[in-house]
Chain A
Amino acid sequence: MLQPLRETCRRLLDDGTVQVVIGYGQAMRAVEPYPVFITDPNDVGQLVWNEQCRTNLVKYLLRQEIRALGKPAIVVKGCDERALVVLEQESQIERSEIVVIGVACDGMAEARCEVCDAHQPRFADHTIGHATNKEQSAERRYAHLAEFQERPIADRMDYWKAELERCVKCYACRQSCPLCYCQRCIVEKNRPAVLDTSPTLKGNFAWHIVRAFHLAGRCVGCDQCSRVCPEGIDLRLLNQSMARASEASFGHRSGTDPQAELVLGNFSKQDQEQFIR
């Protein structure tokens, strides 16, 4: 898998198709691979591929300093690739200006990989390796959330109080999310301030409600937010609750269909709800 990946990247850089390859590299002592930005074809040896390549690299496509390097190629897994689909739907990237190198993945030893149905990339320009995509029922994919929601409401509140108490407002969840791309985030607007930005329970609830809801119907479930959280807060529960609702109510699964319309940018007169009187 690694050799064809390096060869593809070398070829793309050699013939000038792209100026930079965004991929996974290995630091000397680091346990996890870290992102590398390769501009010289002779450096493709830095690229690695192993069971630790969990990070979703898509965010780097949006960074100005990376864009300044020229046309990029990016190494993605089947799950990361969904973020690219949403970014294109939201006009944040021009798909023809990016070369996508999809790597088939048999799972990254994470819980979510057991219910993954995107082992094989579907929209990549170059695909390395082969894996089979298994159908996964919604019940299976959202089993973790369903189990959480069975708890009584007071329990859930206590759970989030204990979790969000620890939040230090480092905003790593926002910085690493491939779909959080506002030039100026709502928490940075201070004339007037929209949210309480203090790292208190009140401020933390306000922030996490905003962060989660700004991903409503958009989150592709890459779990990058939970992965980077220094306090280990399980943010995917919040993201999943709305992903499941948009799947159930609007038949929309974010990032799976490039032709689909965005959930909150559109409406249907036939939308069915039970709670409006």
Chain B
Amino acid sequence: MNTAASDPANGEFEPKIVAYVCNWCTYLGADLAGTNRLEYPANVRIIRLPCTGRIDFNLIVKAFEIGADAVLVSGCHPGDCHYTSGNYHARRRWMLFRELLATLGIETERVHFTWISAAEGKKFQQLISEITSTTRDLGPYHAYREICETCEV
């Protein structure tokens, strides 16, 4: 991700949001939002993965490393997983992972977790708008970017 692109000529900050979504629910929810012509901010980069249970915690770290200002992880509602239990496993994992992030001083309010079904196009639209505006208020994630810039010296 190009850092310069987030600072358009007018100097306004445009947050970059990476969304890791599951193939079976949230991706279809996003698709539904599209087919219904529901407008949501273009700040989100959607990355489709098989299941939330398959989303490695390294991907969240990686997103911050390459310049994301917020990360969204979203999948099927509990009980709805295409693979019966992937989202339950994911839920446990995130419960512990958030603790680690908090201890490391990484801002957990920039890491969002949601359940969005294939029928919830409206919820997807609202969520992306909300995350974009809260991230805009939080500002660019300089703290983690500074960590990553030291390696380019």
**Which A residues form the contact surface with B (CB < 8 A)?**
145, 148-149, 153-161, 194-196, 198, 200-203, 205-206, 209-210, 212-213, 216-217, 237-238, 241-242, 244-246, 249-250, 263-264, 266-269, 271, 273, 275-277
Contact call B127/A277, Cβ cutoff below 8 A: yes
Whether A216 contacts B105 in the complex (CB less than 8 A), given A157-B143, A200-B150, A277-B113, comes out as no
Q: Which residues of A contact B93 (CB under 8 A)?
A: 216, 264
- B97 CB → nearest A CB, Å: 6
Interface residue SS majority, chain B: helix
Q: How far is the CA of A223 from the CA of B127 in the complex (A)?
A: 42
| Other-chain contact of A245, B57, B61, B99, B127 (Cβ < 8 Å) | B99
What are 8 A-B interface contacts by the 8 Å CB criterion? Answer: A153-B102, A154-B143, A196-B151, A212-B100, A245-B95, A269-B79, A273-B94, A275-B113
- The closest CB in chain A to the CB of B147 belongs to A201
Which residues in B have their C-beta under 8 angstroms from that of A273? 91, 94-95
The CA-CA distance from A249 to B85 in the complex, in Å, is 19
Chain B residues within 8 Å of A148, by CB: 103
- Chain B residue numbers with a CB within 8 Å of A155 are 105
- Select one of B58, B98, B104, B115 contacting A157, CB under 8 A: B104
Partner of B151, one of A157, A195, A198: A198
Contact count A vs B, C-beta below 8 Å: 118
Asked if residues B105 and A156 are in contact (CB atoms below 8 Å), the reply is yes
With A203-B151, A277-B112 as given contacts, are A267 and B88 in contact (CB-CB < 8 Å)?
Answer: yes
Q: What residue in chain A is nearest B86 (Cβ atoms)?
A: A267
| Bound CA–CA A245/B150 (angstroms) | 32
Within the complex, the shortest CB–CB distance from A180 to chain B, in Å, comes to 16
List B residues 60-115 near A (Cβ within 8 Å): 61, 65, 78-79, 85, 88-89, 91-100, 102-108, 112-115
Q: Across the interface, do A145 and B103 meet the contact criterion of CB distance under 8 Å? A: yes
Q: Which residues of A contact B112 (CB under 8 A)?
A: 277
Q: Is B148 an interface residue (CB 8 A)?
A: yes
B6 to chain A, nearest CB (A): 19
Instruction: Contact check, A277 vs B114: say whether CB atoms are below 8 A apart.
Output: yes
Instruction: Say whether A159 contacts B150, CB under 8 Å.
Output: no
What is the CA–CA distance of A210 and B61 in the complex, to the nearest angstrom?
10
Across the interface, which residues of A come within 8 angstroms of B100, CB to CB? 209, 212-213, 216, 238, 241-242
B88 pairs with A238, CB closer than 8 A: no
Tell me the bound Cα distance from A250 to B112 in angstroms: 22
With A238-B100, A267-B89, A271-B88 already in contact, the answer to whether A153 and B150 are too (CB < 8 A) is no
Given contacts A149-B102, A154-B143, A242-B96, contact A271 B91 (CB under 8 A): yes
Residue contact A202 to B147, C-beta cutoff 8 Å = yes
- Closest partner residue, chain A, to B107 (CB atom): A153
In the complex with contacts A209-B104, A213-B57, A202-B151 CB distance below 8 A: yes
Contact B99 A264 (CB under 8 A): no
A149 & B61 in contact (Cβ 8 Å cutoff): no
Partner of A241, one of B65, B99, B127, B147: B99
Task: State whether A244 and B99 are in contact (beta carbons under 8 Å apart), knowing that A160-B104, A210-B58, A276-B113 are contacts in the complex.
Answer: yes
The 10 closest A-B pairs by CB, nearest first: A157-B105, A156-B105, A200-B151, A267-B88, A241-B103, A245-B99, A276-B113, A201-B150, A216-B96, A202-B148
Select A276's contact among B65, B106, B114, beta carbons within 8 Å: B114
Interface centre among A153, A212, A268 (most CB of B within 10 A): A153
Q: Which residues of A contact B79 (CB under 8 A)?
A: 269
Cβ contacts under 8 Å, A200 to chain B: 150-151
